Amino acid sequence: MEEITLSNNTMHYRGIDFSLNGYEKIDDLCVHVFLDEGVYALTECKINNDICRTADEIISKLNTNENV
């Protein structure tokens, strides 16, 4: 399972910090996130130590990352 840390629109993923520029829901399980290095597909993952199993859970964490 991928582990991601989000803070102030910065996504720390696989040891690298990326700027989070947006996202789009693909289906019930997948979200495309637009980073400065390209587009990544997120499915079940851990964001800020919370397991996100659905696209809606991922989007919820993406929308609240400014407060981390």
Average pLDDT estimate for 42-46: 96
Average pLDDT estimate for 21-44: 95
CB 65 within 8 A of CB 7: yes
pTM: 0.87
C-alpha to C-alpha distance for 31 and 27, rounded to whole angstroms: 7
What mean pLDDT value characterizes the chain?
A: 92
Per DSSP (E only), the strands in the chain are 2-7, 10-13, 16-25, 31-35, 38-42, 45-47, 50-52
When pLDDT is cut at 50, 70 and 90, the band that residue 64 belongs to is: confident
In sequence order, the β-bridge partners of residue 11 are: 6, 18
Q: Which pLDDT score is estimated for 15?
A: 92
